[in-house]
């Protein structure tokens, strides 16, 4: 199943990821992305990939384990 | 749909449309046509990290050749489209080649409004990677910088030039440039931010004329005063790139006019996305064109969906969102503050660094929009509430609870 990563150093808190996939990404008090899940179902992959492409600084990845 | 999709314009709207078509399992060819020869790149850093020299060109690439190959996206870069033959379903390129399509997506964006002051050198606009490179080269030499236009791009350039040690003056005919969007109070605060960082502002006064050449320019203002500059940056807005469609028969009026599904009116095989698209916004009930990054990405996803799901079209009703980084202000705006009748401040504009939000309400006390400075969490909260049509009181209350951080 696909595994998710987030580069907190890169993240600027633009919040696009959590708007596209609020069940997977959130933003904390410091304005940094939080992964609500590390592993997602294959069925969610395309939706989560869309969320990663909405990140203006390319901080998010979907990996094949 | 297994036919060919031609996407014209290879910046964020075009690239994301091509990628999203694959996400929607479009099986046919995708051809991405772009006027610029280099790999597709992203624009927001051109007034920020790239202009400052902290990021190189490799960091702003939107699509590498390998990624395009992996996604089955055919790149046709370096030749602009010259004409769209809607009846014959062909894109005519400037080198005489033709690309046949079953669907075409217009993503040619917008171009910087040109400087009305003809000067041989030293006066810049900022839209493309080449623009940013040329400006960066001039900023490597010492000397004062005048920025004409105090909107987002002007303010960002001023901040970047100031941070690299230049004396900077911002000129704008409006007394509070950002106030046009966010209300006079915020506009005034923003003016103070310029001044606090040592940037001179000449607001409420226009530019009469610019003379001289790079390194030795003279800017004459409408009040008769003059400002010397080594470099001038003109940031006075953008114009949708629709010239190549002049003989297509498509309806063009401040952008390609589209229905709520982002299809050019009266065509079901011509779509538009990003800065160039002016579509019927179902919730706002009017035709709008939005020049922000996030809109390009969200609209790309919507167009890719509609193109591949002709039986279940979705109206495109986004919640507007834009960010801007200026000095120590990370500004985020959601919704339509300019349509608001009332607003409320929450947090501390005066703190170091400042952290505050402004919640805007419409005539029915519903949340119309929000502004957050250095406070992403507050912005995310308001962005969610806007999507569900919450009241502005509810939004203000929620943002107030965020003033006290929760223990993680
Ligand atoms: C300096 C700068 C800073 C910005 N900062 C921010 C920010 O902080 N936040 C934010 O939300 N937005 C920002 N924006 C706005 C954002 O970048 C744009 O909304 C976004 O680039 C729009 O994407 P687009 O693909 O629709 O159009 P464009 O980016 O304009 O791209 C259009 C593409 O089409 C190509 N093209 C044009 N004509 C033809 C033709 N005839 N044939 C083939 N190709 C053609 C062009 O070469 C270009 O590659 C900024 C813009 C600039 C210029
Ligand atoms: S979209 Fe990117 S920058 Fe924005 S919060 Fe998510 S990870 Fe961070």
For the domain that residue B170 is a member of, what is the CATH number? Answer: 3.50.50.60
Question: How do residues B230-255 score in pLDDT, each as one tens digit?
Answer: 999 999 999 999 999 999 999 999 99
| Per-residue three-class SS string for chain A | CCEEEECCCCCCCCCHHHHHCCCCEEECCCCCEEECCCECCHHHHHHHHHHHHCCCCCCEEEECC
| Percent of chain B scoring above 70 in pLDDT | 99
Domain count, chain B: 3
Of the candidates B227, B12, B1, B350, the residue with the CA atom closest to the CA atom of residue A58: B12
Is A12 in Cβ contact with B330 (below 8 Å)?
yes
What average pLDDT is seen over chain B? 94
Which residue range forms the structural domain that includes residue B203? 114-236
Asked if residue B123 belongs to a domain, the reply is: yes
Last residue of a domain, one of B236, B255, B287: B236
User: B104 with B252, same domain?
Assistant: yes
Of the candidates B404, B376, B395, B407, the residue with the CA atom closest to the CA atom of residue A30: B376
CA distance A27 to B108: 33
Cα of B364 vs its chain's centroid, Å: 30
CA of B43 from ligand 1 middle (Å) equals 6
CA distance B9 to B197: 38
Contacting A with CB below 8 Å, chain B residues are 16, 19-20, 23-24, 42, 44, 293-294, 297-298, 301, 321, 323, 325, 330, 332, 374-377, 379-380, 383-384, 402, 405-406, 408
| Percent of chain B scoring above 90 in pLDDT | 87
Taking the Cβ of residue A36 and every Cβ of chain B, the question of whether any pair is shorter than 8 Å is answered with no
Query: B123 φ, ψ to 5°?
Result: -105, 120
Q: In chain A, which residues have their Cβ closer than 8 Å to the Cβ of B405? A: 29
Of the candidates A55, A46, A38, the residue with the CA atom closest to the CA atom of residue A3: A38
CATH number assigned to the domain comprising residue B332? 3.30.390.30
Last residue of a domain, one of B236, B267, B297: B236
Asked if residue B171 belongs to a domain, the reply is: yes
CA distance B309 to A15: 28
Asked if residue B96 belongs to a domain, the reply is: yes
Mean pLDDT computed over B45-49:
96
Last residue of a domain, one of B273, B308, B343: B308
**Sheet with strand B90-93: strands edge to edge:** B81-85, B90-93, B98-100
Pocket lining: A33 vs ligand 2, CB cutoff 6 Å: yes
Domain ranges of chain A: 3-63
User: B98 with B121, same domain?
Assistant: no
For the structural domain made of A3-63, what CATH number should be given? Answer: 3.30.70.20
Asked if residue B315 belongs to a domain, the reply is: no
Question: How do residues B162-197 score in pLDDT, each as one tens digit?
Answer: 999 999 999 999 988 888 788 888 888 888 889 999
Nearest CA to ligand 2 atom 1: A55
For the entire predicted model, the pTM comes to 0.95
């Amino acid at each position: 199943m696909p595994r998710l990563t987030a580069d907190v150093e890169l993240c600027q808190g633009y919040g696009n990821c959590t708007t596209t996939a609020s069940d997977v990404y959130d933003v904390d008090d410091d304005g940094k992305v939080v992964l609500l899940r590390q592993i997602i179902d294959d069925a969610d992959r395309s939706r989560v990939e869309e969320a990663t492409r909405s990140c203006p600084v390319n901080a998010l990845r979907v990996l094949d384990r | 749909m297994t036919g060919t999709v031609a996407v014209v314009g290879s910046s964020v709207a075009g690239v994301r449309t091509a990628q999203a078509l694959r996400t929607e399992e479009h099986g046919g060819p995708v051809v991405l046509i772009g006027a610029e020869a280099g790999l597709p790149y992203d624009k927001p850093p051109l007034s920020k990290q790239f202009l400052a020299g902290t990021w190189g060109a490799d960091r702003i690439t939107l699509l590498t050749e390998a990624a395009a190959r992996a996604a089955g996206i055919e790149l046709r870069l370096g030749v602009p489209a010259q004409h769209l033959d809607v009846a014959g379903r062909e894109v005519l390129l400037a080198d005489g080649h033709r690309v046949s399509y079953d669907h075409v997506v217009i993503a040619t964006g917008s171009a910087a409004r040109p400087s009305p002051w003809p000067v041989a050198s030293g006066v810049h606009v900022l839209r493309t990677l080449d623009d940013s490179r040329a400006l960066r080269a001039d900023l490597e030499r010492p000397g004062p910088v005048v920025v004409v236009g105090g909107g987002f791009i002007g303010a960002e350039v001023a901040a970047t030039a100031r941070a690299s040690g230049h004396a900077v003056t911002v000129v704008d005919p409006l007394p509070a440039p950002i106030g046009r969007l966010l209300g006079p109070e915020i506009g005034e605060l923003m003016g103070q931010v310029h001044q606090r960082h040592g940037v001179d502002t000449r607001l409420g006064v226009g530019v009469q004329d610019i003379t001289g050449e790079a390194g030795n320019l003279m800017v004459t203002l409408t009040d008769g005063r003059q400002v010397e500059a080594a470099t001038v940056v003109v940031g006075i807005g953008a114009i949708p790139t629709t010239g190549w469609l002049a003989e297509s028969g498509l309806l063009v009026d401040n952008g390609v006019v589209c229905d709520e599904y982002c299809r050019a009116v009266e065509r079901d095989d011509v779509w538009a996305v990003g800065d160039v698209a002016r579509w019927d916004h179902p919730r706002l009930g009017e035709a709008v064109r939005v020049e922000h990054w996030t809109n390009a990405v969200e609209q790309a996803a919507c167009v890719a969906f509609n193109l591949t799901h002709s039986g279940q079209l979705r109206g495109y009703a986004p919640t507007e969102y834009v960010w801007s980084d200026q000095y120590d202000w990370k500004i985020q705006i959601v919704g339509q503050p300019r349509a608001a009748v009332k607003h409320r401040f929450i947090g501390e504009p005066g703190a170091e660094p400042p952290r505050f939000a402004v919640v805007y309400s419409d005539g029915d006390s519903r949340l119309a929009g929000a502004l957050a400075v250095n406070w992403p969490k507050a912005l995310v909260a308001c962005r969610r509430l806007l999507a569900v049509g919450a009241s502005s009181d509810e939004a203000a209350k929620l943002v107030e609870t965020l003033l006290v951080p929760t223990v993680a």
